[in-house]
Structure 1
């Protein structure tokens, strides 16, 4: 099955640039923007050779996995556009529910107790988990293309056929979970779910709805966490995400701290201090 857009995505004006192999879908999307592309363009591949995650980390996309980037053109104020990562998480988790309703999920959160159920969860700020194991990652990148416009590349990588081993955290793939969906089937569902989630987001006016939906899928909500933010580690209980989608921790003394960026660890890893 070749990559294709859902009818809802086509009706909403999205376009498709599909490849078997690319260097990086995010990089290619930004190239399109600099060449004058108007946005609402999905750049998709079943293999990328130089993908990357947050903080420049490598993100492997072997043949059969999904690498998808949505190019959007927005105004110069990027604060609201930054919340598109939460839209992406919701759209992807909805798409996963659609293509893998019977997936076997029974993995612990960062080494914690085993969790049973068929629910895909969202780990702040940019991961999708299957019972605590990383299934997908999301990366937003931006660049100014004029004095008044910016290009946003919403990158989404999903372990469909394979997942990396030897990582400091558990990982999984749709195939390992028993799902039969391939990358093209998942992308078709993703393009549909994205259109629905974007209508909820409503150019940022519906962020409260997005936040509520995201919290309903949040991994580790109410549990002990450790967050590495810049050069320090903050420990406490994951209480919520605030109106700006920052990660809110309740510390042992009852104080609350909101974190805009950092690496989150749950359960046994947080308790052991191994971050």
Structure 2
């Protein structure tokens, strides 16, 4: 499979390193940062054998799925760098909409399955903090890793995994893949669109100065906004209505007793699972 940068990405001087098979694209990117790579470089493969998810979980990337990591080097401000996860979510959302527009909306009979005229509902949603959902099932995951480097800079690796041909089995949550829904595109096409979408959204982010605009765009596509959610943090579970994300990207929920809680990291559950955890 031949991966290539999109035109806008190449024009913005991003670089690309490809692998037929790789242990971890995130690991390759961070190793490059330690060796002095200046950033703006993508590391991508259609087969990853040692991928990682959040909280150290194993991220499965069988042949044909997409594993891509982008190395960026930014000022050493961890809170600002953390908002790059929302840039990645928006970029991937834009990329999927461009290559598979039929996935964007579901048409329901008399509006039963959707909202608005003709019962249209957006099928692609962004789950806080770093997942992309399709029809409520996980289609893609995003993992940020960061290390300080000389010059008071921070090397940030944004890992993005997309289930193109197959979704992992045996997970505690539903997962799906593009091929399972009849979308006949490959990982190279998804990556090309992603590289261009990243260049566009990153300009809006503007080294963190434009996060308010990114936040607004992300909330427009957020899963569960205004609904009851449950957030697990270690052994504790907090339930409440998902009200917004704040200016640092933290989740803001309001509990039934009116208490507002701001959460920096946690595992979010929706629907009946959230209700049962109250």
Which of the five TM-score ranges fits, normalised by the shorter chain? over 0.9
d(CA) in 1 for partners of 2:203, 2:104 = 31
Deviation at 1:131, TM superposition (A): 1.4
Q: Which runs of 4+ in 1 moved over 6 A?
A: 113-116
TM-score, scaled relative to structure 1: 0.94
Report the counterpart of residue 192 of structure 2 in structure 1: 188
Q: Is the 8 A contact 1:26 1:153 kept in 2?
A: yes
Instruction: Report what 1:177 is aligned to.
Output: 181
Flag structure 2 segments of 5+ consecutive residues without an equivalent: 107-111, 115-119
Q: Is the 8 A contact 2:72 2:156 kept in 1?
A: yes
Q: How far did residue 177 of structure 1 move?
A: 1.8
Alignment of 1:102-251 (within 5 A): 102-103=102-103, 117-251=121-255
Q: CA deviation at 1:231?
A: 3.2
Tell whether the 8 Å contact from 2:104 to 2:123 is kept in structure 1 after alignment.
no
SS in 1 for 2:159: strand
Distance 1:119 1:193 in 2: 19
Q: Which residue of 2 aligns with 1:83?
A: 83
Secondary structure, aligned partner of 1:59 = strand
Residue in structure 2 matched with residue 272 of structure 1 by the alignment:
276
In structure 1, C-alpha distance between the alignment counterparts of 2:166 and 2:41, rounded to whole Å: 26
C-alpha separation in 1, matches of 2:122 and 2:65: 21
- The unaligned stretches of length 5 or more in structure 1 are 107-112
The size of the alignment, in residue pairs, is 268
C-alpha contact 1:105 1:130 (8 A) present in aligned 2: no
For the aligned residues, what is the CA RMSD? 1.7
Aligned residue for 1:243, secondary structure, equals coil
The residue that corresponds to 2:6 in the other structure is: 6
Provide closer, same or farther for how the CA distance between residues 64 and 114 of structure 1 changes in structure 2, counting only shifts above 3 A: farther
**Correspondence list, 1:36-47, <5 A:** 36-47=36-47
Quick one: structure 1 residues 170 and 114, their matched pair in 2 at CA, closer, same or farther if it must change by over 3 Å? farther
Note the 1:52-91 alignment, pairs <5 A. 52-91=52-91
Structure 2 Cα separation of the partners of residues 87 and 39 of structure 1: 16
Structure 2: how far apart are the matches of 1:19 and 1:114?
42
User: Structure 2 length normalisation: TM-score?
Assistant: 0.93
